[in-house]
């Protein structure tokens, strides 16, 4: 049954049509054979009745006189006249059933019981060519002038009728087989041609590895039939999906540019402040070169500023570098995040609450790159949502080999468009936070999930990521 269910529709339908034709052919053949049997039975009954009636007229007076020799002579002349015909044996008995004469006296002796004739004789109305044997046995009353004066038993050769029936059966089987074969091939070709658009549609939907392709115009059926409308509707759906995918790609690209612009703006602010102090220090050294204490103090300022610029540059490079080794998360990654987000916090004068309870474990790890991107995107959105002088919270903890990240802000609750991006997998609608869909995809890619809650005028986004056993991480 499984193999039949997996069979293409273009093969199952012709097979079904062939099976129906076989059934119809079998029923029709049965009806033909029944009709032939009825005709043969009528013919043999008519012939037997004529034979019995003829003998009754000729033998009636002889049987009444019990004239055995005349009865035999009459039967012998009748047998010679019908030589090569159906009547292979005829016997005549008196009223008591005792045989007076027979065409084969050695087989049916005189004065024997006619009921002992082999072949189980039947009456005329029950005579039938049933195929049980090539010889039929008949027993009928010998009626003369309305009076039953004896009995007539006859054996009829019906081998030619059986041969005719077998020949008819053979011709029916051959004819049905040829007709079914021709009609099956024609039906297969016709149905396959009719179902070709469905086959093409199935191939376009299943053999494109999740990326549907439109049906070529040359393969779309002509006219306005159901299959033609189906093919055109499918092409319209493919075009709509492609347009939506392109719109989502452009939207995601725009979001990346927005996030990059925000991060660049924050970094520029973070770098511009130390540069002003560095320029003042160099100006002090140039103007007060004869004062060692001023030069030493300015040199210290230069060193601290340059170290700060080096740290900001390193963290930025680490965050955007493609890490081929899939480095495991460490506590330093969260310190880098704090350094990256600090310019945005300072620019909007936010109150940042930072709590990281992350102890590196030898037996469980998680990839650093995706976690850093998740946290940075949520922090940037929280800073924007809080507004100037708002509050932003960042909390990281480990619970039973599960990494939990909480990001809170005191701004208004997230709009529905942003929630759809963060919590759903449907098409992106205009609006919503930057990078929220990326947060969801990264979290689910790590086997985790994202939750949202609004309590006490505070929005909380929670990301739960299971830690991976170190051996399994190495295999991956």
User: pTM for the full model?
Assistant: 0.42
Residues of the chain with pLDDT under 50: 83-84, 322-325, 474-476
Of 269, 289, 321, the one marking the end of a domain is 321
Is position 376 within any domain?
yes
Of 294, 321, 348, the one marking the end of a domain is 321
How are beta strands 364-365 and 147-157 bridged, if at all? unpaired
Task: Map tokens 């509707």 to a residue.
Answer: 233
Predicted confidence at residue 325, as pLDDT, reads 46
Is position 132 within any domain?
yes
Same domain, 345 and 359: yes
DSSP single-letter state for residue 457: T
Same domain, 314 and 357: no
Predicted confidence at residue 352, as pLDDT, reads 93
Same domain, 376 and 392: yes
Instruction: Provide the 3-class DSSP secondary structure of residue 367.
Output: strand
Predicted confidence at residue 84, as pLDDT, reads 43
Chain-centre distance for alpha carbon 143: 78
Same domain, 94 and 156: yes
CATH number at residue 339: 3.30.565.10
Is position 189 within any domain?
no
Q: What gap in Å lies between CA 20 and CA 27, rounded to an integer?
A: 11
Which H helix or E strand runs over 138?
strand 135-144
Q: What gap in Å lies between CA 9 and CA 31, rounded to an integer?
A: 33
Q: What gap in Å lies between CA 271 and CA 51, rounded to an integer?
A: 130
Same domain, 401 and 278: no
Structure tokens at 259: 């996030």
Is position 228 within any domain?
no
Domain count, the chain: 3
135-144, strands of its sheet edge to edge:
99-102, 87-94, 147-157, 135-144
How are beta strands 351-357 and 391-398 bridged, if at all? parallel
| Alpha-carbon torsion (248, 250, 254, 257), positive or negative | positive
How are beta strands 364-365 and 402-409 bridged, if at all? unpaired
Q: Which domain holds residue 83?
A: 2-170
Is position 200 within any domain?
no
Q: What gap in Å lies between CA 344 and CA 409, rounded to an integer?
A: 14
315-353 pLDDT per residue, tens: 565 555 544 446 788 888 888 788 778 878 888 899 999
Distance linking the first and last C-alpha atoms of the chain: 39
Same domain, 330 and 375: yes
Predicted confidence at residue 356, as pLDDT, reads 92
**Whether the Cβ atoms of residue 230 and residue 205 lie closer than 8 Å to each other:** no
Report the alpha-carbon angle 354-356-358, nearest 5.
170
Task: Map tokens 């909380």 to a residue.
Answer: 460
Same domain, 390 and 462: yes
**Whether the Cβ atoms of residue 56 and residue 173 lie closer than 8 Å to each other:** no
Count how many residues are written for the chain.
476
Tell me which residue of 184, 216, 215, 244 sits closest to 16, measured CA to CA: 184
Tell me which residue of 346, 396, 341, 342 sits closest to 371, measured CA to CA: 396
Same domain, 144 and 41: yes
Based on its alpha-carbon atoms, the radius of gyration of the chain, rounded to whole angstroms, reads 53
Instruction: Provide the 3-class DSSP secondary structure of residue 420.
Output: helix
- Please list the alpha-helical segments (H only) found in 66-158: 68-81
Compute the half-sphere exposure of residue 312: CA atoms within 13 Å on the CB side of its CA: 22
């Amino acid at each position: 049954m499984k193999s039949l269910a997996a069979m293409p529709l273009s093969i199952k339908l012709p097979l079904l049509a062939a099976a129906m034709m076989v059934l119809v052919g079998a029923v029709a053949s049965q009806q033909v054979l029944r009709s032939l049997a009825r005709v043969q039975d009528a013919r043999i009954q008519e012939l037997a009745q004529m034979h019995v009636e003829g003998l009754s007229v000729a033998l009636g007076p002889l049987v009444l006189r019990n004239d055995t020799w005349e009865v035999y002579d009459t039967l012998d002349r009748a047998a010679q006249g019908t030589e090569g015909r159906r009547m292979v044996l005829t016997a005549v008995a008196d009223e008591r059933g005792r045989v007076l004469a027979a065409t084969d006296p050695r087989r049916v002796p005189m004065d024997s019981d006619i009921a002992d004739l082999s072949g189980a004789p039947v009456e005329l109305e029950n005579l039938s060519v049933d195929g049980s044997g090539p010889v039929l046995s008949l027993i009928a009353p010998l009626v003369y002038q309305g009076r039953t004066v004896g009995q007539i038993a006859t054996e009829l050769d019906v081998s030619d009728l059986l041969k005719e029936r077998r020949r008819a059966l053979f011709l029916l089987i051959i004819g049905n087989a040829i007709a079914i074969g021709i009609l099956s091939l024609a039906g297969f070709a016709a149905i396959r041609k009719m179902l070709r658009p469905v086959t093409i549609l199935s191939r376009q939907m299943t053999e494109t590895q999740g990326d549907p392709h439109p049906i070529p115009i040359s393969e779309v059926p002509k006219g306005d039939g159901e299959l033609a409308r189906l093919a055109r509707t499918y092409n319209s759906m493919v075009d709509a999906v492609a347009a939506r995918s392109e719109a989502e790609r452009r939207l995601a690209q725009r979001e990346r540019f927005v996030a990059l612009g925000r991060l660049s703006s924050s970094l520029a602010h973070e770098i511009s402040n130390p540069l002003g102090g560095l320029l003042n220090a160099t100006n002090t050294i140039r103007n007060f070169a004869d004062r060692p204490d001023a030069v030493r103090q300015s040199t210290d300022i230069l060193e601290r500023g340059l170290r700060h610029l080096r740290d900001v540059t390193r963290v930025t490079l680490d965050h955007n570098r493609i890490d081929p080794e899939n480095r495991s998360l460490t506590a330093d990654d969260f310190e880098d995040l704090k350094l990256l987000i600090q310019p945005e916090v300072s620019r909007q004068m936010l109150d940042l609450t930072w709590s990281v309870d992350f102890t590196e474990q030898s037996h469980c790890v998680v990839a650093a790159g995706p976690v850093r991107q998740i946290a940075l995107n949520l922090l940037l959105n929280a800073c924007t949502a809080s507004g100037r002088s708002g509050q932003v919270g960042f909390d990281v903890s480990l619970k039973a080999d599960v990494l939990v990240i909480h990001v809170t802000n005191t701004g208004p609750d997230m709009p529905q468009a942003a929630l759809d991006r963060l919590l759903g997998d449907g098409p992106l609608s205009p609006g919503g936070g930057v990078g929220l869909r990326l947060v969801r995809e990264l979290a689910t890619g790590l086997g985790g999930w994202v939750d949202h809650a609004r309590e006490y005028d505070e929005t909380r986004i929670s990301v739960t990521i299971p830690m991976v056993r170190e051996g399994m991480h190495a295999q991956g």
